[in-house]
Amino acid sequence: TIQTGTFNYCSALETISLPYSLTTIQEQAFRNCSTLTSITIPENVTHIGAYALQNCTGLPSITCNAMIPPTLGAGVFAGIDKTIPLYVRKFSIDAYKAAEQWSDFSNFLPVSVPTYGTCGENLSWSINEDSTVLTITGTGAMYDYEGVLNGNLWIGCTTPWYDYADKIIVVNLPE
């Protein structure tokens, strides 16, 4: 959790790297950080408090990797140009377009997703250039992945390669 007002009025702050494990950004956390030029909200964030990004007028875009749009307190994006790109997971664009305050944005774009990463202790995954072949290498147990629902609506799956699911033709599981 990023606590209330942690970076409020940090007027020289340009970039912040938020950890994957982050689940909550409390109210006014980045309020009035007018020189902030980059923010990526991690996929585990479920709530952003009131006025958390108010007047972050230097943002040329916002990226949110959460498959389900985080719930928002009042005025989270107050003072931010709603025509800047909002990058979200491609299978989640409709959910963001329907979510309160997120729907105020007009320029929804699919976020760039990684083409490789880890998927378990001593396990790696990669996708080939045309996104048709998924290869998983290494030894050990794979992380547990689950489906993601927004109410009764299927949003997707938490596998890191889910954004390629509609293109994958071959899965390689070498010994």
For residue 4, the model assigns a pLDDT of: 96
Q: What's the pLDDT tens digit per position in 41-79?
A: 998 899 999 999 999 999 999 999 998 999 999 999 999
Backbone dihedral angles phi then psi of residue 97, each to the nearest 5 degrees: -65, -25
Q: Is 98 helix (H, G, I), strand (E, B) or coil?
A: helix
Angle, CA 101 vertex, CA 95 and CA 102 arms, to 5°: 40
Band of pLDDT at residue 157, cut at 50, 70 and 90: confident
Q: What's the pLDDT tens digit per position in 3-23?
A: 999 999 999 999 998 988 899
Cα separation of 86 and 146, whole Å?
A: 25
Mean pLDDT of 137-155: 82
Are 80 and 59 contacting, i.e. CB atoms less than 8 angstroms apart?
A: yes
Band of pLDDT at residue 149, cut at 50, 70 and 90: confident
Angle, CA 105 vertex, CA 103 and CA 39 arms, to 5°: 110
Are 23 and 43 contacting, i.e. CB atoms less than 8 angstroms apart?
A: no
- Candidates 124, 128, 107; CA nearest to 170 is 128
Cα separation of 161 and 89, whole Å?
A: 11
